[in-house]
Chain A
Amino acid sequence: MSLQVEHLTVYYQTLRGDVQALEDATFTIEDGEIMGLAGESGCGKTTLGHSLIRLVPPMRYVRGKVKIDSEELPIWGMEEMNPFRFKKISIIPQYAMNAMNPTRKIGKMTEELLESRKVSFSDTLPELKRRLDMVELTHDVMNMYPIELSGGMKQRMVMVLSTLMDPTLLIADEITSALDVSTQKAVAEMLVEFRNRECCNSVMLITHDLSILYQIADTIMVMYAGQLSEKAATHTMIHSPRHPYTKLLISSLPKVGVKYAEKRLKGIPGSPPLLLDPPIGCRFRERCPVAFDKCLDVPPFLEIEKDHLVACWKEFERDA
């Protein structure tokens, strides 16, 4: 098991109070698993990703435990996390287009970054070049400034950089969202290639675009308003979702057979609650067609079938 998260709760401190962006998340990611993390914009996907690697104000660690390769991560400590970053856990951030220092040549920046982590640049160079080949970038990029690269090139460069230390877990946040459809597919396939060649052990692929997950994710986890709703193998999730939110989500998409559909998550009546003062119990309650009085309590995230987790009282009753 490469990642184990227990009861992770993270808020944003604001002048108007805490934004409860991640509430009591408990889940695991297996070795070699590419887990897609899906959900509407603002449901806390980025919050979950960032809290695992760089938890800084206004984010506030509330409670919970994170283990990677059975070792506990000190996610609450900016300095304490440093030994784990890059080597155990790494990220391709949502802002990958601006992730590289604009005034340093990419090679120089890579060198300075590696040396600052006490890793020899010259020893890493052959592997670095191999990976540039993998993502179809010329070795010349090392002599270029970020501004000289196209968006897709920057995205791939950051992908190479972030995985250079073969992290156990790679968090990939919306890596395809800024790209056009044809490049999206290529980048997604490169990510699978990286995993297959063990440039990283497992991947948390954050996106609001389900179609990309159909293509490459082994499992999908769905979030709603800061709470986990459901996690299952991709095939199960698409053909037999259990959580009412996921069901609506999947049925609102065009036929699943259309694999490369560009449709995004959208169109369920109502809108997600504000996380500054979220409703008690199940946060989907107000939009849920089958809600009942039990839903005023928070449903636990339970395994109702092997490797199929759901947080819904209705489903628990049905199974009982």
Chain B
Amino acid sequence: MRRYFSRKLLIYILTFFLAVTIDWLIPRFMPGDPVQNMLSRAMLRADAAEVMYGYYTKAFGLDVPIGQQYLNFWNALFHGDLGTSVYMFPTPVTKVLLRAVPYDIFLLIPSILLSWYAGNKFGAYAARSKWLDNTVSPLGYVLTATPYMWLGILLAWFFGIVLGKFPIAGAYSFNLVPHLSWMFIWDVLKHWFLPFASLFLVGFGGQAIGMRNMIIYELEADYSHYLEALGAPRSLVRKYAFRNAVLPQITGLALSLGVIVAGALVTEVVFSYPGIGYLLLAAIQNQDYFLIQGCFLFIIIGVLFANFVIDIVYLLIDPRTRTGMMGETA
């Protein structure tokens, strides 16, 4: 058990280390000079600009050799310091990100969990009814094949513009100041609904299809046939098939997490929803390298963490991984 965990943990740490290193490389190898870029917007006189350039290069820590920069980066990282945003100067990147992250959580967790739950329920249901299978399965294929952006735009157009039922930009109305009231909560939920729905629908389709196929596969597995040969009622055969079909669905969720997060980024852009995705777009448009770097870092941490959680859940519920593990240490 411990050996399994330490090995898993090591893999996660290595992945994290590598991903962060790549993340650190990106702004340094991207065309353009962030400081120059910021200064050019200030429209300073040439000599003043030169002084300021020197000052900012120092402030951003870009005046030391590249190896030193790398070490400083890790050091700062462990102190929770991701540098200063150029675009929202002088707010620290960490602070900018922490303002955005709650929106991502608010959007992602419900859509992932609900689409997983509902998709699996529906898929299992479809697997046993011909009629449902013929309607839900094609729909599921269409949904899961729809790019997030399209679905987002379609929903925004239909519910926001044609029906005018839902707002299509922001996390709450611009004329409201965040405060605790039913009116405000209602407003927040209305803004949340469409981006949530587009993430939910794509996820739902994928999960439903996956579950349907897995159940059908499990019902054709040897152990199902054996139960049938011994006269076990359908309910028992189904129960086992469902349980065993859910397991790969959990791994599937871990694998698709990256896609879901990417989908959330795009969806936030479509709905101007102020999470990391929206921030990332702004950061790119403004060539705010530190902010870009910070956004990616948060995404990396988020995806790795979620994967780790799913790994543990899987470990707890699938005896095959558990016993496989014991065999390893033996």
Contact = CB atoms under 8 A, between A and B. Distances in A.
Interface of A: 53-54, 56, 78, 81-87, 90-91, 93, 95, 98-105, 112-113, 116-117, 145, 147-148, 158, 161-162
Contacts of B324: 147
Interface string B304-330: 000000000000001110011000000
Contacts of B222: 93, 95, 98-99
A162 B318 CA distance: 26
B230 A103 contact: no
Contacts, number: 76
A116 B318 CA distance: 23
Contact of A147 (B223, B228, B320): B320
Contacts of B223: 98-102
Given A54-B228, A81-B231, A102-B223, A148 B318 contact: no
Interface of B: 221-223, 225-233, 235-236, 240, 243-244, 247, 318-320, 323-324
A117 B231 contact: yes
A116 B225 contact: no
Given A99-B226, A101-B223, 14 more contacts: A54-B225, A54-B228, A78-B228, A83-B231, A86-B231, A95-B226, A98-B223, A101-B240, A102-B320, A103-B247, A104-B240, A113-B232, A145-B323, A161-B230
Contacts of B233: 82, 116
B226 A102 contact: no
A145 B321 CA distance: 11
A116 B234 CA distance: 10
Contacts of A162: 230
Q: Is the interface of A mostly helix, strand, loop or mixed?
A: loop
Give me the 3 closest cross-chain CB pairs, A-B, nearest first: A85-B231, A98-B222, A99-B226
Q: Which of B226, B227, B244, B247 has the most CB of A within 10 A?
A: B226
A98 B223 CA distance: 6
Contacts of A105: 319
B231 A103 contact: no
A120 to B, nearest CB: 16
A106 to B, nearest CB: 11
B241 to A, nearest CB: 9
A41 B243 CA distance: 35
Contacts of A147: 319-320, 323-324
A88 to B, nearest CB: 10
Nearest to A87: B231
B178 to A, nearest CB: 47
A158 B230 CA distance: 11
Contact of B225 (A93, A117, A158): A93
A310 to B, nearest CB: 32
A287 to B, nearest CB: 34
B244 A112 contact: no
Nearest to B326: A148
B244 A117 contact: no
B244 A103 contact: yes
Contacts of B320: 102-103, 145, 147
Nearest to A95: B222
B314 to A, nearest CB: 12
B182 to A, nearest CB: 46
Contacts of B240: 101, 103-104
A132 to B, nearest CB: 18
A248 B11 CA distance: 62
B229 A91 contact: yes
B247 to A, nearest CB: 7
A102 B244 contact: yes
Contacts of A82: 231, 233
A84 B229 CA distance: 10
10 contacts: A56-B228, A81-B231, A93-B222, A99-B226, A102-B319, A103-B244, A103-B320, A117-B232, A147-B324, A161-B230
B224 to A, nearest CB: 8
Contacts of A90: 229-230
Given A99-B222, A101-B223, A86 B230 contact: yes
A103 B318 contact: yes
Nearest to B224: A101
Contacts of A116: 232-233, 235-236
Nearest to B223: A101
Contacts of A104: 240
Nearest to A83: B231
B317 to A, nearest CB: 8
Contacts of A112: 236
